[in-house]
Structure 1
Amino acid sequence: MQAATRDPVEETPSMLWGLDPIFSAFARLYVRDILQMTESTQVPGIYFYNSHPIYKVDVLGTVVFKRERDDFFCYGVDDGTGVINCLCWKNDLLKEEGDPTGSEGKHTDGAQGGFNPVAELKKLRQAQQSRCHLEIGELLRVRGPVKTSRQQREIMASVYYKVNDPVMAVQIAWMMEVPQLYRQCYDKPFQLQPNAMGDSAINPLGKATNIIKEFVKQKSVSRFRPYDVQDLLQPLISSQPQTASEDQEPVAGPSSCQQLRQLLKEALQVLQDEGIVFRKVKSQDEVYHVTAEDKDLLMAVKDIIREDSKREKYAERGCHILHILSAVRQRYSLNVSKTALELVLKSLECNSDIVSTSENHYTMF
């Protein structure tokens, strides 16, 4: 279908799109809405649903037609509201057609009773083929950016796999979650806060948290102490008006140093509440770990999901977020909050290290 366009005056300026959390997420939209989204006139490849900028989506549906080429599969996916083409690229294991039986025969005698890398590679290839090679009527979950090619809207899959759903548990969970997302997020227009355009009237606490976030992002630090960022907030204290009316007596108040320490304390608390930072160990030496940059925390979460997903209890649906949180607190730090863990899980899922099987369950391929 021909991609629609919208009047540029109706679009939010592209520099503000990042303020909409939906822009950074895989939007779970109905296929009907993906096909009807209007394309941005500012940046090709960005689309709008109800004023929300969107460029990547998450779809679950039934394969109604397929086409295979040397480098990719093209699946037509029907979610009950429409059909969309999904271009699913093959990886190297799927491209290699050769059966290494000859090589396997050479290694069998030497590796008998031990680890046979060729045989294990063959098993891996077969497992991957079974998850990525779908037939008509099977259930497919696909994530990726939306593209318009030859006037046809399609999804360029970054992650795709066959969903085994014999009792329709996954589909029922999906049908319950998506309408909630529409009500809570997608159907609410993207509205900028009054100060989003850089109004100088923004409160000092909001400025302070943004300054620390920018510091963490620019320096790519994994940890810091309060005195590392304290000086950055000094201009916020100096710029506050200290004048009093002529008919009032001057009132003694907190000194600038006290105000600065209080502002810093409140800003760090906001960042902890948002899960952006956390304190691995609470001691007199205040060290704040940056959640997204803490490689040890990411590795600990991956190890927990990898190990526990193999247990019979979690084999079908994966590990619940509360189970992961409990395990992380036992193995890594008691001070990891649920919001911090959610940021870690989102990061791992965006990197395709893990996948969510339902709203609060995660597993590995």
Structure 2
Amino acid sequence: MQPEAKDPVEDSVWEEPPSMLWGLDPMFNAFTKLYVKDILQMRESCQVSGIYFYNSHPIFKVDVLGTVVYKREREDFFCYGVDDGTGVINSLCWKDEQWRDQGDPTTSGARSFGSSARGDFNPANELKKLRQAQHSSSHLEIGELLRVRGPVKTSRQQREIMASTYYKVSDPVMAVQISWMMEVPQLYRQCYDKPFHLDSSAQNPNIQGGSASYLLGRATRILKDFLKEKEVTRFRPYDVQDLLQPLVSRQPQKTAAEQEPEAGPSSGPPTSFKQLRELLQKSLQILQDEGLVFRKVKSQDEVYHVTERDKDLLMAIRDILREDCRREKYAEKGCHILHVLSSVRQRYSRNVSKAALELVLKALECNSDIISTSDSHYTIL
């Protein structure tokens, strides 16, 4: 099946994004689950061969599930024609080197299996059984179901998949195919059919933080990395303020000559310190909303506690569960998360959020200190 011819007018209107920005699209490094029809119709990049575009998304690796409709075997590889219901694409599947050197494992190891008839465990025979299973999963016949993943290539003006992974899918009740048919349309609606847009900061590298959301996202990531690397238990805003200073200092600032002459002092652009302070407060608020940090006491001395490293908070939650789970009301099912949250706010701090509590409960469960009896009930071990 050949790709359909594109309208030359349409090609002239569409502008391919610069190659240095392709990595910003999450589809670029993923095995994209596209229909065969769309793989055959994707336009190839004029900048880099082997890169294709679907709705402005750069793609070079795909993931296809379909029925084998033709098969050709060569010394080093198989050629399978894969039909997913929208089209047929050729898949080049290389043979394993050990099969070419040692022959077919299904016949070469048949005689040695008799030595393990007594029931003794023989590692060599077990390894041959595994090779047999692997061999059978990669040798398909017409009508069998194949899943293949790999980069797309154009050979002799025809699209094909150079398989990096391929295997036969056992699907007697069509559960895999039904799941695939439900998943792929959602991916199209949520991701593939939405054009790849770049914000002003990405399109113009000279403008650092061109959009407020981009700048805030970078600042939040910097603070998260700091908390992870330094393993601090608590901090104050001025401890992390300098980390965000480069983000503000790189933003373009108007000089005095560029400002309106009639503009007064109050109407001028905000100072770097004010911008830094606002960016820091917004970033810390995001960390609080996600439960990563909290303020035990709200006072002029802003102290932020790192939730998962606050030993007093962990101990308070363990004590609450240990005491309350002894009561008949909570003995069987455990304490509800809202009950634990209310008790923590009464005994430890009124400023602990539900998101922070969920992080602590998850950490305690990972350490086997507590166990969840349902989605929202916990008990002590």
On whether the aligned pair clears a TM of 0.5, the verdict is yes
Which of these residues, 282, 289, 309, is aligned with residue 283 of structure 1?
Answer: 309
1:224 aligns with 2:229: yes
Which of these residues, 79, 83, 96, is aligned with residue 91 of structure 1?
Answer: 96
Structure 2 vs 1, CA of residues 257 and 208 (structure 1 numbering), >3 Å: closer, same or farther?
Answer: closer
Structure 2 vs 1, CA of residues 187 and 256 (structure 1 numbering), >3 Å: closer, same or farther?
Answer: closer
**Aligned match of 2:41:** 36
- Separation of aligned partners in 2, 1:148 and 1:137: 25
Number of equivalences: 282
| CA offset digits 1:259-298 (Å, max 9, x no partner) | 575355357679999xxxxxx980149xxxxxxxxxxxxx
| CA offset digits 1:68-101 (Å, max 9, x no partner) | 2232211110111111111112224443316246
Structure 2 vs 1, CA of residues 259 and 60 (structure 1 numbering), >3 Å: closer, same or farther?
Answer: same
- Separation of aligned partners in 2, 1:40 and 1:249: 48
Structure 2 vs 1, CA of residues 211 and 68 (structure 1 numbering), >3 Å: closer, same or farther?
Answer: farther
Structure 2 counterpart of 1:82, one-letter code: G
| CA offset digits 1:337-362 (Å, max 9, x no partner) | xxxxxxxxxxxxxxxxxxxxxxxxxx
**Aligned match of 1:265:** 284
CA root-mean-square deviation: 4.6
- Separation of aligned partners in 1, 2:223 and 2:266: 40
- Separation of aligned partners in 2, 1:331 and 1:15: 41
**Aligned match of 2:218:** 210
**Aligned match of 2:126:** 120
Assess if the C-alpha contact under 8 Å between 2:208 and 2:250 holds in 1. no
Secondary structure of 1:115's partner?
coil
Structure 1 residue 7: Cα displacement: 4.9
Structure 2 vs 1, CA of residues 333 and 270 (structure 1 numbering), >3 Å: closer, same or farther?
Answer: farther
| CA offset digits 1:41-83 (Å, max 9, x no partner) | 0111000112111111111110011112232211110111111
Structure 2 counterpart of 1:234, one-letter code: Q
Structure 1 counterpart of 2:162, one-letter code: M
Assess if the C-alpha contact under 8 Å between 1:72 and 1:89 holds in 2. yes
1:12 aligns with 2:17: yes
Assess if the C-alpha contact under 8 Å between 1:142 and 1:160 holds in 2. yes
**Aligned match of 1:152:** 158
Secondary structure of 2:93's partner?
strand
Secondary structure of 1:173's partner?
helix
Unpaired segments of 5 or more residues in structure 1?
274-279, 286-325, 335-365
Structure 1 residue 193: Cα displacement: 2.5
Structure 1 residue 222: Cα displacement: 12
**Aligned match of 2:245:** 234
Structure 2 counterpart of 1:202, one-letter code: G
Question: What is the TM-score with the length of structure 1 in the denominator?
Answer: 0.62
- Separation of aligned partners in 2, 1:123 and 1:209: 51
- Separation of aligned partners in 2, 1:72 and 1:153: 17
**Aligned match of 1:188:** 194
Assess if the C-alpha contact under 8 Å between 1:204 and 1:236 holds in 2. no
- Separation of aligned partners in 2, 1:281 and 1:91: 50
Structure 1 residue 256: Cα displacement: 8.6
- Separation of aligned partners in 2, 1:267 and 1:29: 36
- Separation of aligned partners in 2, 1:148 and 1:211: 43
**Aligned match of 2:182:** 176
- Separation of aligned partners in 2, 1:120 and 1:269: 54
Structure 2 vs 1, CA of residues 57 and 226 (structure 1 numbering), >3 Å: closer, same or farther?
Answer: same
- Separation of aligned partners in 1, 2:33 and 2:14: 27
Map 1:94-109; keep pairs closer than 5 Å. Answer: 94-95=99-100, 96-97=102-103, 99-100=108-109
Secondary structure of 2:185's partner?
helix
Structure 1 residue 153: Cα displacement: 0.7
- Separation of aligned partners in 2, 1:207 and 1:122: 56
Unpaired segments of 5 or more residues in structure 2?
233-238, 257-262, 293-305, 312-360, 370-381
Secondary structure of 2:39's partner?
helix
The structure number with the bigger radius of gyration is 2
Structure 1 residue 135: Cα displacement: 0.4
| CA offset digits 1:197-246 (Å, max 9, x no partner) | 134463566336437869999xxx99513789764422235567799x74
Assess if the C-alpha contact under 8 Å between 2:79 and 2:91 holds in 1. yes
**Aligned match of 2:85:** 80
**Aligned match of 2:55:** 50
Question: What is the TM-score with the length of structure 2 in the denominator?
Answer: 0.59
Structure 1 residue 248: Cα displacement: 4.7
